[in-house]
């Protein structure tokens, strides 16, 4: 049984890139239905709103996303989840990680991180995750040579973020892999993104922690998402092992680009589903557009 999900952020309307990703996840689940017949249909396509970026979320975008998916003919199972309703579950997972000793408080601001990186002779050159900002130089990371102690605020911020100590986590889990839909086993690089934030100062969680906890809670068996999130999968597999969560199978698809080769984003309003629908396009025409647009 395949259980897939589509997890948009309600910070804008869907564009063709979203439609492409949603169709892949939808098709993966519905292919299971087709193989088993109408009576024994088991595949499920779930919808989840990744709305922890609450300062950019707008109420009208929740319904707008549902409207776009209905128009595209991508029907989902059950009620959509909202991450803002799931904060207690993320706090519980964070407490488990604290007990394991694999996270630490960080009081650094982004400006302080940038300043320290500028002073380093060889700053870390890691791929940037879309949620993580600049790579972290380890300012607040506990030093093994000194007794464990609570980090002290280095700025006016009194509430810390919580970061994953990726080296300590990797020592605890040992070597890991994650499986692709083709059956390939990819070795996990625990330090690929450095000590990422697992709990932001303002909301008490982050993309990495929330998505891992929610995928397990919803029973997601096959995760379909863009190639841009492949680095994050290394972190997610590490968290799954630390929290004793199931291991899904991953498909990282190509990204839809505009005619200039730039990846589609919400700023591409001319390629928003609502805009194209208002211009009189039909759903089947959008799928033809998707086939014609460049991918990378």
Which domains occur in the chain, in start order?
3-83+254-292 (3.40.50.620), 88-199 (3.90.800.10)
CA nearest to 51, candidates 77, 86, 26: 86
Q: How far apart are CA 208 and CA 97, in angstroms?
A: 13
Which pLDDT score, from 0 to 100, does residue 123 have?
Answer: 39
Which pLDDT score, from 0 to 100, does residue 34 have?
Answer: 52
Contact 45, 97 (CB under 8 A): no
Q: Is the model more confident about 129 or about 141?
A: 141
Contact 252, 230 (CB under 8 A): yes
Contact 61, 94 (CB under 8 A): no
CA nearest to 208, candidates 81, 83, 29, 88: 83
Pairing assessment for the beta strands 44-49 and 81-82 based on DSSP bridges: parallel
pLDDT greater than 60 at residue 183: yes
Poorest-confidence range of 3-17, 82-96, 116-130?
116-130
Tokens matching residue 6: 């589509």
Contact 68, 25 (CB under 8 A): no
Measured N-to-C along each axis, helices 59-72 and 283-292 cross at an angle, to the nearest 10 degrees, of: 90
pLDDT greater than 80 at residue 85: yes
Average pLDDT over residues 43-57: 95
**Span 194-203, pLDDT tens digits:** 999 999 999 9
Q: How confident is the model at residue 270 (pLDDT cuts 50, 70, 90)?
A: low
Q: How far apart are CA 202 and CA 49, in angstroms?
A: 18
Give the Cα-Cα-Cα angle 131, 57, 232 (nearest 5 degrees).
20
Q: How confident is the model at residue 257 (pLDDT cuts 50, 70, 90)?
A: confident
Total Cβ atoms within 10 A of residue 180: 15
pLDDT greater than 60 at residue 51: yes
Give the predicted TM-score (pTM) of the model: 0.87
Q: How confident is the model at residue 133 (pLDDT cuts 50, 70, 90)?
A: low
Q: How confident is the model at residue 261 (pLDDT cuts 50, 70, 90)?
A: confident
């Amino acid at each position: 049984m395949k259980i897939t999900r589509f997890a948009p952020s309600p910070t804008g309307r869907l564009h063709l890139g979203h439609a492409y990703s949603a169709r892949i996840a939808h098709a993966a689940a519905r292919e299971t239905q087709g193989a088993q017949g109408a009576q024994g249909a088991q595949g499920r396509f779930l919808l989840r709103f990744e709305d922890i970026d609450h300062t950019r979320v707008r109420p009208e975008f929740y319904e707008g996303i549902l409207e776009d998916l209905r128009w595209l003919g991508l029907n989902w199972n059950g009620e959509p989840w909202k991450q803002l309703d799931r904060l207690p579950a993320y706090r519980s997972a964070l407490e488990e990680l604290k007990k394991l000793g694999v996270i630490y408080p960080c009081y650094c601001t982004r400006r302080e991180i940038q300043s320290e990186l500028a002073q380093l002779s060889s700053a870390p050159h890691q791929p940037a995750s879309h949620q993580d900002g600049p790579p972290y130089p380890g300012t607040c990371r506990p030093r093994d040579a000194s007794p464990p102690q609570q980090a002290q605020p280095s700025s006016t911020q009194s509430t810390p973020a919580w970061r994953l100590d990726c080296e300590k986590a990797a020592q605890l889990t040992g070597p890991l892999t994650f499986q692709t839909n083709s059956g390939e086993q990819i070795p996990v690089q625990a330090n690929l993104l450095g000590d990422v934030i697992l709990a932001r100062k303002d909301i008490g969680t982050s993309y990495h922690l929330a998505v891992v906890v929610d995928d397990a809670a919803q029973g997601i068996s096959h995760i379909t998402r863009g190639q841009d999130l492949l680095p994050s999968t290394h972190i997610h597999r590490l968290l799954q092992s630390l929290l004793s969560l199931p291991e899904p199978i991953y498909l990282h698809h190509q990204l839809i680009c505009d005619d200039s080769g730039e990846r589609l984003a919400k700023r591409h309003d001319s390629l928003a589903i609502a805009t194209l629908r208002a211009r009189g396009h039909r759903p089947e025409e959008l799928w033809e557009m998707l086939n014609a647009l460049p991918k990378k």
